[in-house]
């Protein structure tokens, strides 16, 4: 994988709206996220050409969204690109993505959820990108960013060493919904639920592999496109998945997981990491289904499976670099990023 350069204090970061135009429709939330990013990490934040257009305009102009990405990559003054928010139709930008621009201008790209689509573009171009928070979510957190999130951003993007062991969050997590367009809500801290640690469902060995995955629903969007990773190419990968705020029904989770089994993807991967579900809803159901499909139905009784992890649609999160080596140690119950992701 081609690795971008790490960030330094004072660097310029561009924000972008590749899916939903929430930053344009809810400017207060965006400005708070921008300010907290600038103040916390001593960086300069600018917007791509169309980042703050209305959600309706963003929806109607998928080529302009892709053009924003290409322009930000080719702008030598910009050192990283952070997604404003996810959505559901980044898939419509694919006809306008130039992989050569990504390959020839490697830069940090950060986002989650529907940004999975863009991450797979970077992956196909051979450039590392990062599954993590976004401007309207983690950076705009009510009453300031979570310390776990701050520590992750510092360790991930302002450092070119490998992260090593990723520690679970112990301070509490949240997905409480406080509407972003109500100004008073921004001064109300979201309620935290206690962290109970990550769950190592099965596995006895230590496995290593390149990290690859994303939002479970969005991976379905990508199947059979030119950007999908074919079953054999998952060989030896550590797959990471998480479900969105839609709170996928357990039946749907089982059906999709069986598709990954039937296509032999689950037989090819070295391990599986699963993020905490939104509101932690269906967490036990998902665990039961994972064991039923992977262990009972497919006989993969030693495939390492770790669930309830701090990435995805609950806050705060750690960032996962695509195409970089990770390690699951089942005996010690640890997950590590063992390769540097940045230069």
Q: Which fold, 183-337? A: Glucose Oxidase; domain 1 (3.50.30)
Q: Do residues 23 and 136 make contact, with C-beta atoms less than 8 angstroms apart?
A: yes
Pairing relationship of beta strands 44-47 and 334-337 according to DSSP bridges: unpaired
Sequential pLDDT tens for the chain (343 residues) = 999 999 999 999 999 999 999 999 999 999 999 999 999 999 999 999 999 999 999 999 999 999 999 999 999 999 999 999 999 999 999 999 999 999 999 999 999 999 999 999 999 999 999 999 999 999 999 999 999 999 999 999 999 999 999 999 999 999 999 999 999 999 999 999 999 999 999 999 999 999 999 999 999 999 999 999 999 999 999 999 999 999 999 999 999 999 999 999 999 999 999 999 999 999 999 999 999 999 999 999 999 999 999 999 999 999 999 999 999 999 999 999 999 999 9
Q: What digits encode the pLDDT tens for the residues 127-146? A: 999 999 999 999 999 999 99
Q: Please give the backbone phi and psi of residue 91, each rounded to the nearest 5 degrees, phi first.
A: -55, -30
Give the C-alpha separation, 322 to 246, whole Å. 24
Per DSSP, the three-state class of 169 is coil
Strand-pairing partners, residue 110, are 82, 130
Q: Give the DSSP H/E element, type plus range, for residue 320.
A: strand 320-321
Distance CA 136, CA 186 (A): 11
Spatial distance between the Cα atoms of 279 and 177, rounded to a whole number of angstroms: 10
Question: Is 142 within 8 Å of 178 (Cβ atoms)?
Answer: yes
CA distances from 337 to 46, 194, 237, 333, 334 (A): 30, 25, 13, 14, 10
Three-class SS state of 17? coil
**Residue 83 CB-half CA count within 13 A:** 27
Given the DSSP bridges, would you call strands 12-16 and 44-47 parallel, antiparallel or unpaired?
parallel
Structure tokens at 206: 């230590």
Per DSSP, what are the bridge partners of residue 168? none
Count, residues in the chain = 343
% of the chain with per-residue pLDDT over 70: 100
Separation between Cα atoms, residue 24 and residue 12, nearest integer Å: 20
Q: What order do you get walking across the sheet with 325-329 strand by strand?
A: 164-165, 334-337, 325-329, 206-215, 238-242, 271-275, 305-309, 199-202
Chain segment 80-107, per-residue pLDDT in tens: 999 999 999 999 999 999 999 999 999 9
- CA–chain centroid gap for 161, Å, is 20
Domain with CATH 3.50.30.60 in the chain: 183-337
Does the 12-163 domain belong in CATH 3.30.450.40?
no
User: d(Cα 309, Cα 322) in Å, to the nearest integer?
Assistant: 17
With CA atoms as reference, report the closest residue to 135 among 38, 241, 264, 54. Answer: 38
Nearest-angstrom CA–CA distance, 99 and 125: 5
Domain with CATH 3.40.50.10740 in the chain: 12-163
């Amino acid at each position: 994988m081609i690795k971008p350069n790490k960030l330094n204090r004072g660097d310029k970061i561009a924000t972008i709206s590749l899916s939903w135009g929430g930053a344009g429709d809810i400017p207060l939330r965006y400005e708070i996220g921008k300010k907290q990013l600038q103040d916390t990490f001593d960086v300069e934040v600018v917007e791509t050409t169309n980042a703050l257009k209305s959600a309706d305009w963003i929806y109607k102009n998928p080529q302009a969204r892709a053009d924003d990405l290409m322009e930000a990559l080719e702008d030598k003054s910009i050192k990283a690109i952070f997604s404003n928010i996810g959505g559901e139709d980044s898939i419509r930008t694919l006809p306008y993505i130039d992989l050569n621009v990504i390959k020839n201008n490697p830069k940090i790209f950060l986002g989650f959820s529907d940004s999975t689509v863009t991450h797979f573009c970077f992956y196909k171009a051979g450039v590392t990108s990062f599954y993590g928070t976004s401007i309207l979510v983690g950076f705009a957190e009510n009453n300031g960013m979570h310390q776990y999130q701050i520590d992750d951003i510092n360790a991930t993007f302002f450092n070119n060493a490998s992260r090593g062991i990723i520690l679970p969050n112990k301070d509490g997590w949240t997905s409480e919904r406080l509407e972003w367009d109500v100004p008073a809500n921004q001064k109300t801290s979201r309620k935290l639920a206690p962290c109970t640690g990550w769950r190592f469902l099965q596995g006895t060995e230590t496995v290593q592999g390149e990290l690859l995955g994303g939002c479970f629903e969005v991976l379905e969007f990508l199947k059979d496109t030119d950007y999908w990773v074919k079953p054999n190419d998952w060989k030896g990968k550590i797959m990471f998945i998480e479900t969105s705020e839609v709170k996928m029904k357990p039946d749907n989770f089982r059906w999709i997981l069986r598709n990954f089994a039937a296509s032999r993807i689950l037989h090819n991967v070295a391990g599986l990491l699963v993020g905490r579900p939104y509101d932690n809803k269906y967490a036990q159901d998902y665990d039961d289904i994972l064991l039923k499909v992977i262990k009972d139905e497919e006989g993969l009784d030693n495939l390492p499976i770790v669930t309830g992890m701090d990435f995805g649609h609950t806050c705060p999160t750690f960032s996962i670099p695509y195409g970089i080596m990770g390690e699951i140690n089942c005996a010690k119950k640890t997950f590590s990023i063992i390769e540097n992701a940045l230069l």
